[in-house]
Chains A and B, each alone.
Chain A
Amino acid sequence: MAPVAKYYKYWIFLLILGASLPTNAQDTIVSPPLSHRNTLIGYGQRIRGASAKVNQHTRIATTADQLLQGTAAGIYAVQNSGQPAGEMGVHIRGFRSLLASNQPLYVIDGIPYYNETGWSSAGSVFGPAASPLAFLNPQDIGEIRVLKDAATTSLYGSRAANGVVIIRTRRTLPDSLKVSFNISFGTQTPIGTYDLANANEYAGFLNQAYNNAGLDTPYDNPNAFGSGTDWQNIIYRDQAWRQNYHLGISGGGEKINYYLSGEYMDQTGLVIGSDFQRYSFRANIDAQINDRTSLSNSLTFNRVEFNTVASDAGYDETGVDVITGSRIFNPILSHQNADGSINRFHFTADNAGLSSGMLQSILIQPNPLLLAGSTDSKSSTSRVSNNLQLKVSILDQLSLNGTVGVDALFNEEYTFIPGALFLGANQGTGSGAKLDALKFINQYFLEFNQNYSGDQKLDLVAGYSWEGWRREVLAGRSIGFDNETLRYYSLTVGQQKILNSNISEWGMQSFFGMGQYSYKDILNLTLSARADAISIFDNKWSLFPTLAFSWDLRQSSLVRTQKISSLIVHSSIGSTGNQSIPPYSRFSLLNEYNAALNGATINGISIDKIANNKLEVEKTEKYDLGIEVGFKENRLIFDLDFYRENTRNAIGLIPLLATSGFEYGVANIASISNQGLELSASTNHNVGTANASFQFFISLNKNKVESLDLRDQIISGLPFSGITDWSITKSNYSLSTFYKENPDQFEQSILGSAAPKMITGLFSKWDFKDLDFSISLLGAFGQKMINANNFYLKNPTGAFNVLADYLHSNITPAFEPGKPQVLTEDLIEDASYLRIQNITMGYTIPSSLLTGSSIKKLRIYGSAENIFTLTPYSGLDPDVSHFGSLTQYQGVDLGSYPKAKMFLLGLNVDF
């Protein structure tokens, strides 16, 4: 276990923390019953397998996917960007797909949701993708459970390979009326800033660089500039607030129970021009119509509005992002000159003494404050989801379930970039786009439960469902505004207009069944299968069978020692799938081929994408062996899982013979494996009025490309900083591996992988009388990161501002703008980290003080987020991804919108 040894310093840190935990054996026992991990997996079924309940108290979450980070073994989540409500890259038990999404399936109240933002966004705003769960109020969530192995995920068939996240919103028990009001208010500051050269240092540096390049030095007296402008701070707001108000009412009686809630979330972004707001309402109603019929309805309406700035890979039409701009922009320049004129660009002919020819070869970096403050990029989405479930008990042992669910959303996005941000004249750009998306699900299943002579039990379920999804977009873009007053509301003023409309639809029909036999609740045998027919593939049907068993060794009296209070072994083997490629991927598609004839352009149309009717769903075989052991009357519980997952036919771009007329086709090309080990431990101690609980996990994963069709490697890479082809997919290496060519030696160097070898998390909660305290930590180890910021910040050409340290290092600067960038080893850094994610302290007003008032409970608390990160990484934050969740392009840090360090005060009141 090399990684364990390698990261010893993190372990010392953890040990010190662990040493402070109570180990007193005299405390009374609050044993978490093992049976609660008999997981509800959906379709009314429970099974024992590899799953984890997500602790919802580990952090301040704006979106529910943030809760998945660092809370359960086997889940590696990356906060791709710090933009409010930005998407999390969630990888359960490793990376397994190339073109298809690696995000898990989200199932909310029994309804599958699309796991990619593309489905709900018209896609014209700048910045990184927003979370696909941005619409969901995390405070409405009753339980989040992550399903990992074949036993627990198998009923989700072709969407189960990446794991399934089951989210159940709050419902109410009979005869309880509760009104709770929660309010919180917080402030945010960036997680860090770079220490850059100031104006006089930069002027001196540039003088040197010009001199070494044989040019006239532009500044006679560099010291006259003083410290100049701190562009990093200028783009941040003076105060970035976050406020949240939530009212929940739950109640009911014998027949009808309800949970109603309303929420307002307002998070101001750190960077000027970015923010996030959500208004959400929910009505969950459960009704017992008569002895045999019950109804359950979940309705939510929400509206999400946000503004973004260009950051991460979400450049705008100027081709640069605000964050990188704030680091490399010329500190000699002020935002506004004394005469009121604005410095639009990093270099001008006047301030840098360059010829127009040389200026052209410099990256045209517009003023970042102007970029953040004068562009528009806004999105608003109204969404209503409802699902109605009816359950009829036909016989005592037999019941019929029917579900109809609708998720309808309407999204509008607008952008505008004023012409002042472009070097050329009249290039102002505006756009508007509308998206209309609808999902429909209709599902029925029969449940049969029979006990035989008390000892034996048989549970059967068989069902049918179909789902349809549709997404329509109407978009317009306009370039060259003669008058910019009306911005994106006057697209007609632009000189060049581009219109676009498209629709995409897909559907799925499924049959599923599961049989569970159990003997005295000691031995469980499960056989299940799901058959999915997916419109996206020509070969529609695919079958996903699973076999699982669990054995309670303690109850079966095989294990008699009193030291072990419970011991359960479970194992499963099964097949799951991943179908998340865009509809129509298998088709041969035509496109425009515009030719020139006699001085004019003529239109042509022909095929530009080759068909592949053999395209299939990706299949992942999952093997899992798990042991759950409880000691000391289950005061201490360990959960150990070994797994191996083989993905057989991952979909990717296959290089074609050019003879075919095409360069690439989409095909099933790769076999990818993940194997690993997961260990979780939890304890709960109670001494008098004090209670301490402790949850810890550590997991190891090894990701490997087993084979590739036709070629032994695929070189790819979305470009950044002028670098392309930096990611390699190659047999025996993990996905998201970095490489470079060595042209002299005709061989490649493999430079590392963005896949972590080990992840860990710790959560501890302490209650003493009316006080509560909790701390959560998370860590990921062994992954590498390309610190692409250093392309600029350690650039010897003087074309950009640089790190203060770099100036003092032994460099010979020489002005050489447009020098091609190459990937070098020194840009690749160890991105292991251990972070104190959250510390929360609360005080509950003693109930004796509340007698006579209608208030039942009153708690005030303070919470701090992203407090401290221990890492060898030299950038600001190792937990980012420039290209978002794209698996082949993980591990790049460039222009990442910084995370917020957040301090928050809150109040919970129950009436």
Chain B
Amino acid sequence: MKRIALIKIVFENRLAFALIAILAVFSPQCEKPLEENPTSLLTNKVFYQTPNDALLAVNAAYDHLGSGSNNSDFGGVYFNNYWAVQALASDNGNSGRPEPNAVQLAEFRHDASNLMVQDIWEDIYRTINLANLAIANIPGIEMDESLKSRFLGEVHFIRGLMYFELVRMFGDVPLLTVPTEDLSILTISRSPVEEVYAQLISDLQMAEATLPVRYSGADIGRATTGAASGYLARVYLTLEEWSLAQQQTEKVMALGVYRLLPDFADVFKIANNNSDEVVFATNFTLNNDAIWETSQFNVRALPLALNRNSNSWEVPTLDVYNIFDDLDRRKEVTFATSFTESDGTVLEFPPHIFKYWDQQAEPSASSGGNDFFNLRYSDILLMYAEASNESNGGPSAEAYEAINRVRRRARFAEGEERNTLPDLSGLDQFEFREQVWLERRKEFVWEGQRWFDLVRQERLKTRVEAAKSGITVDENKYKLFGIPQRERDINPNLSQNPGY
């Protein structure tokens, strides 16, 4: 072919070439057609920029403690299964329904596939990831430094709290302190208990050092320095570091902001959420239009016979019902065996947990505005009494005063003092320890403490077998829960706890 011919052809067809050239040039090509910008979706690229983003990231972690509004499962860590499992797997609770997962726990037949336990594991790790996201991203945001350190304190508190729950329930666990970036963590293995404790103690100490004593207004309910100190006390109590535990409880008492409410019944009134007795609580609200679900105490614990949205899912054992003196204010607040409807109809039923039902505020019991009390001041007092008794080889006057304050409060019903629960005195170390343990059981029914206490006190087997006839407990196995089978199916590097 000749060059001239080609030029001639191009010239003769200049119109066509010009058209094609115009099409090529004026077609609305994007600058970078293959760069993907999710304009209407939030990504890391546009988030974690402003002080408000930091606040939102912190709030997200609180969400997963409670209602778990953005949870494909049902609720967050302290929404239901946590305290239900604590009651079932102890001498306190039984399943009120033939629900296999709950029955297994109550009868100490549960395995690694138990869905209630798996749900707790999943909720905790979701919360840890939310905390890790905040911990990783907030430091880079330009903002007021004191507010920034408070935010970081809050999410460190939440992370420390989560690892404390994990290490007590499962022993060695995967230890993640950075957010999950992609799918590559699928082969992580378990870290030893000591490392997990070191991490959670450092998280709680960081929170203790940076968090305020109190909040005001809409911020009330966030983690405080007292909450961090109090949880550290519980950590040391679990580790049997008695003098450290005593020091931590003393710190909380020295803050001077906490007190026992005069009447045990007042503690569970919705109006008294975040009262002076509350060191830390997972907050819920009756306002359920924007969050997934309000708290579930009434739905699960109130009797089916009540003909409300109540289901008898978990019920107390007679063993726990019978330890109370009839005049003990806590007995009538914690339980009920009958209920009188407004039309005079009387319903009778075996003992059910009634302490979370604020009948004035929520007559229909259809939702739950009650907070979950992670740590009350009475717990601080009882932990102090216990730690002091152990570290000093016997009860001191201060230790007596601490436990007697809790007993004294339980004597009062609507301002009237009853003739019960006399002040303790003259006990040896062993007797005092037994009294503290008993007082703990009475004080914290259905507050997510019992299995932890029994394991810590090394009497899971004896107590459960005494409370539930026909049940035998393999203590070596059930002092921990099994690593959820779903996790081990996906990750071959996860070992299992003995017996599972």
Contacts and interface: CB of A to CB of B under 8 A. Distances in A.
Interface of A: 289-290, 292-293, 357, 388, 390, 392, 394-395, 400, 402, 404, 440, 442, 444, 466, 468, 496, 501-509, 533-536, 540, 583-584, 587-608, 610-614, 654-663, 665, 667, 710-711
A599 B288 CA distance: 10
A595 B20 contact: no
Contacts of B36: 505-506, 535-536, 583-584, 587
Contacts of A667: 183
Contacts of B129: 607, 660-662
Chain A at the B interface: SS class: strand
A660 B185 contact: yes
B374 interface: no
B130 A590 contact: no
Contact of B61 (A442, A506, A604, A665): A604
B27 A404 contact: yes
A594 B35 CA distance: 32
20 contacts: A293-B15, A390-B23, A404-B23, A404-B27, A466-B33, A504-B40, A505-B36, A507-B33, A587-B41, A588-B181, A590-B43, A590-B44, A593-B130, A595-B63, A596-B291, A597-B220, A599-B273, A600-B287, A604-B61, A608-B70
A335 to B, nearest CB: 33
A612 B184 CA distance: 10
Contacts of A507: 30, 33-34
Nearest to B126: A661
B254 interface: no
Contacts of B186: 656-657, 660, 710
A293 B59 contact: no
B183 A654 contact: yes
Contacts of A611: 181-182
Interface of B: 1, 5-6, 9-10, 12-13, 15-17, 19-20, 23-24, 27-30, 33-44, 47, 53, 56-67, 69-70, 72-73, 118, 121-122, 125-126, 128-130, 132-134, 174, 176, 179-183, 185-186, 188, 217-222, 270, 273-274, 283-287, 289-291, 307, 369, 484, 486-487, 489-491
A593 B70 contact: yes
A121 to B, nearest CB: 17
B43 A588 contact: yes
A289 B59 contact: no
5 tightest CB-CB pairs across the interface, nearest first? A661-B129, A604-B59, A604-B60, A606-B60, A593-B60
Contact of A612 (B33, B64, B183, B484): B183
A505 B33 CA distance: 10
B54 to A, nearest CB: 10
Given A468-B30, A502-B41, A584-B38, 20 more contacts: A390-B23, A402-B23, A534-B34, A535-B33, A583-B36, A589-B43, A590-B42, A593-B59, A593-B69, A595-B66, A596-B287, A597-B222, A599-B286, A602-B59, A606-B70, A657-B188, A658-B118, A661-B128, A662-B180, A667-B183
- Considering residues A289, A404, A594, A656, which has the most beta carbons from chain B within 10 angstroms of its beta carbon? A594
B285 A589 contact: no
Contact of A659 (B174, B222, B285): B174
Contacts of A400: 20
Contacts of B221: 597-598
A817 B64 CA distance: 34
A598 B122 contact: no
Contacts of A357: 307
A466 B33 CA distance: 8
B362 to A, nearest CB: 13
A362 B219 CA distance: 43
Contacts of A656: 183, 186, 490
A594 B69 contact: yes
A584 B273 contact: no
A710 B286 CA distance: 42
Contacts of A596: 66-67, 283-285, 287, 291
B142 to A, nearest CB: 18
B39 A605 contact: no
Contact of B287 (A601, A654, A658): A601
A402 B64 CA distance: 56
Given A506-B36, A533-B34, A661 B125 contact: yes
Contact of B9 (A395, A535, A607): A395
A595 B56 CA distance: 10
A597 B34 CA distance: 43
Contacts of B6: 394-395
A632 to B, nearest CB: 48
- Considering residues A504, A596, A610, which has the most beta carbons from chain B within 10 angstroms of its beta carbon? A596
Nearest to B68: A593
Contacts of B122: 658, 663
Contacts of B287: 596, 599-601
A711 B489 contact: yes
Contacts of A540: 34
Contacts of B56: 603-606
B171 to A, nearest CB: 15
Contacts of A535: 33-36
A605 B16 contact: no
B274 A598 contact: yes
B334 to A, nearest CB: 24
A57 B491 CA distance: 56
B36 to A, nearest CB: 5
Contact of B20 (A390, A583, A654): A390
A535 B35 CA distance: 6
Contacts of B176: 659
A466 B29 contact: yes
B38 A659 contact: no
Given A402-B23, A604-B59, A710-B490, A595 B126 contact: no
A658 B36 CA distance: 29
B129 to A, nearest CB: 3
A394 B487 CA distance: 65
A105 B29 CA distance: 23
Contacts of A508: 33-34
Given A292-B16, A659-B188, A661-B180, A394 B34 contact: no
A427 to B, nearest CB: 14
Nearest to B185: A660
Nearest to A289: B16
Contacts of B17: 392
A590 B274 CA distance: 30
Nearest to A392: B16
A588 B179 CA distance: 12
A468 B33 contact: yes
Contact of A595 (B41, B185, B283): B283
Contacts of B219: 597-598
Contacts of B217: 598
A657 B490 contact: yes
A602 B218 contact: yes
Contacts of B63: 593-595, 604
Contacts of B134: 606
B70 A598 contact: no
- Considering residues B13, B36, B122, which has the most beta carbons from chain A within 10 angstroms of its beta carbon? B36
Contacts of A390: 16, 19-20, 23
Given A606-B133, A657-B490, A667-B183, A501 B66 contact: no
A293 B13 contact: yes
A293 B16 CA distance: 7
Nearest to B186: A657
A599 B290 CA distance: 12
A90 B478 CA distance: 54
Contact of A657 (B16, B285, B491): B491
Contact of B38 (A587, A595, A662): A587
Contacts of B34: 507-509, 533-535, 540
Given A601-B285, A605-B53, A658 B484 contact: yes
A289 B15 CA distance: 10
A659 B487 contact: yes
B489 A595 contact: no
